[in-house]
Homo-oligomer: A and B are copies of this chain.
Amino acid sequence: MEKIEQLERPKSVAVPEPTIRRMPQYLHFVKALHEQGEPFVSSTTIARMLRLDSTQVVKDMSYTGITGRTRVGFSTEELLHAIENFLGYNRKHEAFLVGAGYLGSALIQYNGFRDSGFKIVAAFDTDKKKIGTEIHGVPVFSLEKFRDLASRLHINIGIITTPAGVAQSIADLMVVWGIKAIWNFAPVAISVPENIIVQDTHIYSNLAVIINKLGQSNNR
């Protein structure tokens, strides 16, 4: 009984999160190849450049639904579209950002998002000096305008680049204001209702890994 239930939806076999995380890298690399006129690329080549295992690359590619030619590899053009489609980059994803400091500004102008379908369309802050200005063409509004603008523009992604102390309260507001996914850069964990997606990005964690490895290599 249970089994049959599960078989109802056979196609989406739950893509491993690590695979999803690697996709943008594949996209970046394949796009570069395609732009310089390379018609094909093999998993081995991708693996070498991205320092991955080649069968890993093959497995990851299979999730996009693409099928390669033996001895030749994958068509860069096909692959490009397959990955973009997988990542949802052909659909539009617009976000509001709260906290127009350095980090917020960095995200707004981050070129990694270029041609990804993702765009930060407005920033919000409580600092009167920032309100009314623009960062890289993106306007900075008073936080009070968030709710109204979000519903009018159908925004469902909110980015938090505020100091740690106010991050939770901003998250709470975002939820009330109809945001479905929160991308949090403040160095604290954020609590939200179950149905809201949260992605905490703790820059800090990467530093911890570096320092740890550095310490180990000194001991050797």
Q: Which residues of A contact B (CB under 8 A)?
A: 15, 17, 20-25, 28-29, 49-51, 87-88, 93, 101-103, 105-113, 116, 118, 156-157, 163-164, 180-181, 183, 187-189, 191, 195, 197, 199, 201-215, 217
Least distance between A178 CB and chain B CB atoms (Å):
13
> How far is A187 from B106 in the complex, measured between Cα atoms in Å?
14
Residues of B within 8 A of A181 (CB): 210, 213-214
Asked if A208 and B106 sit within 8 Å, CB to CB, the answer is no
**Do B195 and A217 have beta carbons less than 8 Å apart?**
yes
CA distance A189 to B29 in the complex (A): 9
Copies in the complex: 2
- A97–B217 Cα distance when bound, in Å, is 22
Q: What's the minimum C-beta distance from A145 to chain B, rounded to whole angstroms?
A: 23
- Chain B residues contacting A195 (CB-CB under 8 Å) are 217
Residue among B22, B118, B209 making CB contact with A211, cutoff 8 Å:
B118
Task: Assess whether A109 is in contact with B102, with CB atoms less than 8 Å apart.
Answer: yes
**Could you say which residues of chain B place their CB within 8 Å of the CB of A107?**
203
Identify which of B87, B206, B212 contacts A208 (C-beta below 8 A). Answer: B87
